[in-house]
Amino acid sequence: MTEQTGASASGYRSVAAGGHIGSVSTGDHVVHLPPHALDPPECPPGLVHLPPLVRDFVGREGELALLNAAFSDPGDAVVQALHGLGGVGKSSLAAHWAATRRDRYEPVWWITAESEADVNAGLAALGAALRPPLAGVLQQETLRERALSWLGSHDGWLIVLDDVTDPKDIQPLLARVPGGRFLITTRLATGWHTAARAVRLDVLRPEEAEDLFIRVLTEQGPRDTDGAAEVCAELGHLPLAVDQAAAYCAESGTSSREYLELLARYPATLYAEGQRAIGRTWRVTLDRLTRDQPLTGDVLRVLAWYASDDIPRALLAGLAEPPALLRAVGGLVRHSMIRIPGEGLLSVHRLVQDVSRTADENDPHRRAEDIAAARRTAIDCLDRALPQDVEQSGVWPVWWALLPHIEALERRLPPGEPPGPLVRLLHEAGAFVLFQGVDRTAIRLLTRCRDLIAQFPAEAEEWPELVWAVSNSLGHAYLSLGDEERGLPCVEEAVAAAERYLDAADPRLLRSRLSLANALQRAGRTDRSLPLMKRVLADTEGLLGPDHNDTHWARASLGSAYYQAGRPARAIRLLRRALHDRERHLGRDHPSTAHLKCTLAQAYQAAGETDQAVPLMEEAVVALMEQVGPEHQGTVNGLHDLGDLYLWVGRADEAVPVLTAALEAANRVMGGDHPRTLAIRHGLAVALGVTGDRAGATRLLQDALDVAERVHGSEHRLTRDIREALRQLK
């Protein structure tokens, strides 16, 4: 196992460590799982996950009958896409219909699908629900993969994908489970011809809209309903607008006729005919709310910049004193402008957010300067909430909860608008997911961050360290996927940028060079990595002293490089000293210590000292299992190394179960086409061949070769190794 890059509590240092083979966490935490926790999951009886149903659901008989007919054949795959104007009731209809099918499907599962990240989060939640003991233990990517595997091997389930904004966000899911049953809601009227049967959802019929208005208005007792039909017509019979208008009249004591007079005074100008009613409705509601509590408008405008669902209420903590903030939130909840989906969470309808982010010179709640200020406040609130140390496993749930809101802010950044601190948040988010081993998501976030820096050079001047930190992180993400052609230039670019900004004796420059040396080592370029590491170690020790943490990392990296270069004796001397330093500073069972033990064990193995290698590697894997869990990327790497070591010393019977566990976990954690997963598959095939299972070995190698050729090309060294192993086996 290769050594991690240097790390500290800063985002940049985290990236250097997270870009390397394993992930580490600081602090003491032990994961205890019952023996059955990792068994293949079975759906708990009656598993249903739907949003709160609309109590006053009216009409839609024709649409309900259409859905019943479309999903009537028990054996056929069905993908239906409900499309229509925002606020027309697509989600309400989907939830109502799905609730009526809970006795037919298992599970019935609702996923917010506004982005690919939302889809992944919803699948991860399903994975946790299928095996509750794993909730809060496994990473989101692992739970998502478990859910996909379950869906692909079962039938009789229903997935609702709500508010799809781009069909490409759900295409991977539909491709993985082509025989499934999906109900999609979306504002997109076109683009579904290859993926789903599209069904347009129009506004309510006039009598249905009036029925809805009267139900809400009279919920607490009799009211004067004269003028209800005219109100509904003025609102364009949009369910969301009708419901909000009735709620306002009921709460404020306003009659339908009075409400019509108010609507007439506030014409909307920036929305199309169907949306004009919503703008007017929300204007009237906000007039009342802000008259009693001016903070209400600020809260709604800030919430408008986040993802629509599961916004942590704690993000708003800095806006005002708690009593005032609670009053503002409560007012918005009462008037159906926002809702509370769970403890400490807020949700806002997407159309409410759209209107709130759209400037209107005639609307005092949507002045351009207030909307821009709300965006800056939303960024600042996120900045304050982000944990600073991604190595602390205790903060990982906070990161996963905030990540969709960082991505939403990035998507909603107005064209040509400088990103300000958002560019730094994007880098920290990319650093976190890279640290978690979710390399492709990291590449997407970091690429966007780099593009924004290039587009707005002033951001680079304000945060110069971002320039090389982003390139460094991006390079290691590519290298983790085996893409040296794009990875190495990024890390080299990072060093060049650091050299432009920093003094030659700045420790940050030395860390940047160490990161490049580690990148070269990962790419197998020991001819360049070894001399660079020697120089970095000498410079770091001269600048900071022999016992500084940076010196320890540089020494460990040099030892790993000597091992890679085929000089195990020299590697062992350096790695033993580095291990002593790390145990002294971090403890014997720290994950970073365990990673270094794996590297030292490999050096012992290369030197023929297997009596030293085997117990040290076993000790390291036990520590990783206890500290970061059985399916953490670092544990997967350790299991792979241990299985290869067992095979090396002639203990193939012990290697097979270890490598089997490593492969199963790697498929869930990293995906089937990750270079590490392919390498584990290769090692397991060799072990099976040694134990006499040539058929199993051949099958594994052929599968690995197919993936390697597709992902890495026929001439990649991993592809060549697998092809040669298959040839020898045959």
3-state SS of 653-697 is HHHHHHHHHHHHHHHHHCCCCCHHHHHHHHHHHHHHHHCCCHHHH
Identify the pLDDT of residue 267.
37
pLDDT, one tens digit per residue, over 272-294 is 333 455 666 677 778 888 988 89
CA–CA dist 135, 295 (Å, integer): 37
Burial 224-259 (b: 16+ CB within 10 A, else e): ebebbbebbebbbbbbbbbbbbbbbbbeeebbbeeb
Given a contact cutoff of 8 angstroms between Cβ atoms, the answer to whether 575 and 559 are in contact is yes
Q: Is the pLDDT of residue 265 over 90?
A: no
- Do 48-200 and 634-730 share a fold? no
HSE-CB of 294 using CA atoms within 13 angstroms: 3
Identify the pLDDT of residue 1.
42
CATH code, 48-200? 3.40.50.300
Q: 193: which residues sit within 8 A by CB, 6+ positions away?
A: none
Q: Is the pLDDT of residue 299 over 90?
A: yes
Given a contact cutoff of 8 angstroms between Cβ atoms, the answer to whether 199 and 105 are in contact is no
pLDDT classification of 600: cutoffs 50, 70, 90: very high
Identify the pLDDT of residue 70.
87
Token duo for residue 638: 């350790």
Q: Is the pLDDT of residue 673 over 90?
A: no
pLDDT, one tens digit per residue, over 541-564 is 999 999 898 899 999 999 999 998
Q: Is the pLDDT of residue 41 over 70?
A: no
Place of tokens 């270890």: 658
CA–CA dist 705, 692 (Å, integer): 21
Average pLDDT on 393-397 reads 77
Q: Is the pLDDT of residue 22 over 80?
A: no
Other Cβ atoms within 10 Å of 340 Cβ, number: 14
pLDDT, one tens digit per residue, over 421-446 is 899 899 999 998 887 777 888 899 99
H or E element at residue 184: strand 181-186
Given a contact cutoff of 8 angstroms between Cβ atoms, the answer to whether 589 and 627 are in contact is yes
Average pLDDT on 496-525 reads 87
What angle (nearest 5°) sits at the alpha carbon of residue 666, between those of residues 688 and 473? Answer: 135
Range name among 106-115, 141-150, 180-189 with the lowest pLDDT average: 180-189
pLDDT, one tens digit per residue, over 572-587 is 999 999 999 999 888 8
CA–CA dist 159, 167 (Å, integer): 15
Which 8-state DSSP code applies to residue 83? E
Torsion of CA 550, 555, 557, 561, to 10 degrees: 160
Nearest to 726 by CA among 695, 696, 702: 702
Torsion of CA 686, 687, 693, 699, to 10 degrees: -40
CA 690 to the chain's CA centroid: 40
Bond from prior residue into 107 cis (ω within 30 degrees of 0): yes
Which 8-state DSSP code applies to residue 114? S
Nearest to 446 by CA among 424, 422, 430, 435: 430
Identify the pLDDT of residue 31.
52
Domain borders along the chain are: 48-200, 269-346+359-388, 634-730
CA–CA dist 422, 409 (Å, integer): 8
The alpha carbon dihedral of 583, 666, 4, 648 has a sign of positive
CA–CA dist 542, 335 (Å, integer): 66
pLDDT classification of 415: cutoffs 50, 70, 90: confident
40, 158, 386, 546, 712 from 145: Cα distances, Å? 12, 18, 26, 44, 22
Higher pLDDT, 34 or 52: 52
What angle (nearest 5°) sits at the alpha carbon of residue 194, between those of residues 190 and 196? Answer: 75
Range name among 10-24, 80-94, 180-194, 645-659 with the lowest pLDDT average: 10-24
pLDDT, one tens digit per residue, over 75-116 is 667 888 988 766 788 899 999 999 999 989 999 999 999 889
Identify the pLDDT of residue 275.
44
CA–CA dist 684, 321 (Å, integer): 59
Average pLDDT on 4-29 reads 48
Token duo for residue 549: 């943490």
Identify the pLDDT of residue 263.
67
Let me know if domain 634-730 sits in CATH 1.25.40.10.
yes
CA–CA dist 624, 621 (Å, integer): 5
Percent of the chain exceeding pLDDT 70 equals: 90
CA–CA dist 616, 641 (Å, integer): 11
Nearest to 707 by CA among 666, 683, 668, 671: 671
CA–CA dist 539, 527 (Å, integer): 19
**Strand runs labelled E in 344-451:** 345-348
